[in-house]
Amino acid sequence: MEAFILMKELRSNLDQEVQYLPKETGLSLIESTQENGNGVSAKCRDARVEDLWSLTSFFGYSTQTFVLAVNLLDRFIAMMKVQPRYLACISIGCLHIAARVTEEECNVSSSHELIRISQCKFTVSDLSRMEKIISEKLNFQLKAVTALTFLHLYHAIALSHTSNRKDVLNLDKLEAQLKACLCRIVFSKAKPSVLALSLLMLEIEALQSADLLEIGQRIQTHLKISKADLARWRGLVGQCMREYSSPECAKPDHKKLVWIVSRRTAQNLHSSYRSVPELPTIPEGAWDESESEDSSEDLSSGEESLSSSLGSDAEGPYFPPNFRSRAHRQ
């Protein structure tokens, strides 16, 4: 019964996915644009998406927020002629819209905080106006059927057939691989259902599971995805994964974020430190071990709050390499 409901939901999303695809002609135009030209180039777009990945992890947003932000970005720039200098504002606007759609209200960062952390040179009012333009141009269709939608459904269908595969198909790994793919504009041309199935089939191939392979083939038949179409995108996904896993691909630094403060701020910090009165010595016999642990936690929480806000991607093999340099600039 559960599998039947999932298959029905799968078919429903398949019928809707075409409504949320970026215009392929617009994506092709971006791919053909020179890097120093008047329009947005593929390299410029990909760099902005990597920045969105970094910000998503920094603010603790979900994969759904990142994937939706990329979808909004691609749909917008594929239909509008955008100058490169506005791309930062557009991408941050898409992230802010996506966060408001998918995240709990209490977890959505303010416009001011997004601008400050991203180090962009526009104002809160600029961002607000841009978000209004994006929403209007997309006809307020701010919820979308994405590759993540299908990836979750495929994963649920695979698990519904047996309970002993929960530790085999790693959804977190599949999501990380999807995010890596979305950092390349070519994958925005793929139908979400096909891109998600390509990721799933590659993982099944790596696991060498005959049972899971049969499930994947049933999904392919149910959705009427051609062998040629699946083979093409599976090949591109495999190439992307190999490049991300290669030694040439820069890996993020696992060190904690370091704040660089100005000389004036440093002087103020030093002067305030000197103004703290000296505390009396604690008698040796009065030290309680449980209180020591609590004190230690309180002291470290302020220092580590920023680094602890990073998502699990910061420790994975598919985290954008530019996060290291961005982190140290904060």
Q: Where are the domains of the chain?
A: 20-138, 147-245
Residue 259 has pLDDT above 60, yes or no: no
CATH of domain 20-138: 1.10.472.10
The predicted model gives 35-61 an average pLDDT of 91
Question: What's the average model confidence in pLDDT over 284-291?
Answer: 46
The predicted structure's pLDDT at residue 292: 39
Q: Is 209 strand, coil or helix?
A: coil
Q: How confident is the model at residue 36 (pLDDT cuts 50, 70, 90)?
A: confident
Q: Return all residues near 110 (Cβ < 8 A) that are at least 6 apart.
A: none
Nearest to 114 by CA among 52, 182, 40, 46: 52
Of residues 90 and 299, the one with the higher pLDDT is 90
Residue carrying the six token digits 């990380």: 176
pLDDT given for residue 50 in this prediction: 94
Q: In terms of pLDDT, which residue wins out, 243 or 258?
A: 243
Higher pLDDT, 318 or 39: 39
Q: Is the pLDDT of residue 317 over 50?
A: no
pLDDT at 290 over 90: no
pLDDT confidence of 37, banded at 50, 70, 90?
Answer: confident
**Which band of pLDDT confidence, cut at 50, 70 and 90, is reported for residue 245?**
confident
pLDDT tens-digit readout, 95-141: 999 999 999 999 999 999 999 998 888 899 999 999 999 999 999 99
70 close to 36: Cβ distance less than 8 angstroms? no
Which residue, among 304, 309, 291, 301, has the nearest Cα to 58 in the 3D structure? 309
What pLDDT does residue 1 have? 57
Residue bearing the bigger pLDDT, 268 or 128: 128
Cβ neighbours around 255 below 10 Å, total? 10
Contact, 103 vs 61, CB < 8 A? yes
> Which of 54-58, 65-69, 139-143 ranks highest by mean pLDDT?
65-69
pLDDT at 138: 95
Note the pLDDT of residue 322.
Answer: 46
Residue 252 has pLDDT above 80, yes or no: no
Beta-carbon contacts of residue 55 (< 8 Å; ≥ 6 apart): 61, 92, 95, 114, 117, 118
Whether the model pTM is above 0.85: no
Percent of the chain past pLDDT 70, that is, above it, reads 72
CA angle 213, 219, 224 (to 5 degrees): 125
User: What's the confidence (pLDDT) of residue 41?
Assistant: 93
**Does position 65 have pLDDT exceeding 90, yes or no?**
yes
Q: Which of 152-166, 187-201, 238-252 has the lowest mean pLDDT?
A: 238-252
Judged against a pLDDT cut of 80, whether residue 46 lies above it is answered with yes
Instruction: Kindly give the residue spans of alpha helices, DSSP state H, lying in 224-262.
Output: 227-245
When pLDDT is averaged across residues 220-239 and rounded to a whole number, the result is: 94
Q: Is the pLDDT assigned to residue 257 strictly greater than 50? A: no
* C-alpha–C-alpha distance, residues 179 and 326, integer Å: 19
Q: Residue 101: which of 124, 58, 131 has the closest Cα?
A: 131
Q: Which amino acid is at 155?
A: H
Q: Which pLDDT does position 73 carry in this prediction?
A: 97
Q: Kindly tell me the burial class for residue 329, based on how many C-beta atoms sit within 10 Å of its own C-beta (0-12, 13-18, 19 or more).
A: exposed
* Mean pLDDT calculated for residue range 265-289: 51
Element counts in the chain: helices (H) and strands (E): 15, 0
Give the DSSP letter of residue 284: G
Q: Count CA atoms within 13 Å of residue 21 on its CB side.
A: 19
| pLDDT, averaged across the chain | 80
